[in-house]
Amino acid sequence: MYCGSFKRNSINANIRIGFIADSNGGVGWLHGQGSDSENIDVYSEFVKGIDMILMGWNTYYQITTELSPTEWTYSDFTTYVFTHREMDSTEQIRFTNENPVTLLEKLKSGEGKNIWICGGASTVRQLVGADLIDQYYISVIPTLLGSGIRLFGNEGREIKLKLCSTQTYNGITDLVYTRR
């Protein structure tokens, strides 16, 4: 059942959400509705609870060539990048061709803070499929892409979630869920 109020003669739509990039992989739309005075620093609070990041090659490549080409933006964390490319790892960035499910299972059994799955639809889908994600931080951005790269594919099964918290700023709504 859907309840709401609408202006007379308005057009309402059931909108699909869940894109993490536009059709070309771009993320230039990842911002609020334009009022910097409404922005709050949710990132700093979020990263206090993590010490490790997992991401796919495409996310890593986009960060290092487009979003932050002069500085590794996640220097405070150990980052694992899933790739089949032969790359030299550093203490901060570890390139691996290990299966994301296998690696995450190993890392979860170790000591430390939380692990952030920072990006890569393929990586996220594999970990969702293996039911390894404990918390989902989902941001609803005030932009309708229409098409693009979906975060969640057609997993073929239902995953029940419980809403833990919400926060709204600059037109963005952050939703935090845990598995039920």
Kindly report the pTM of this predicted structure: 0.80
What is the pLDDT averaged over residues 36-48?
76
Q: What is the pLDDT of residue 125?
A: 85
For the ranges 68-77, 105-114, 118-127, the lowest mean pLDDT is seen at 118-127
Q: What is the pLDDT of residue 155?
A: 64
pLDDT at 49 over 60: yes
- DSSP conformation letters of the chain: -------TT---------EEE-TTS--TT-S-SS-GGG---HHHHHHTTEEEEEEEHHHHHHIIIIISTTS-TTTTSEEEEE-SS-----SSEEEE-S-HHHHHHHHHTSSSSEEEEEE-HHHHHHHHHTT---EEEEEE-S---SSSEESS---SS---EEEEEEEEETTEEEEEEEE-
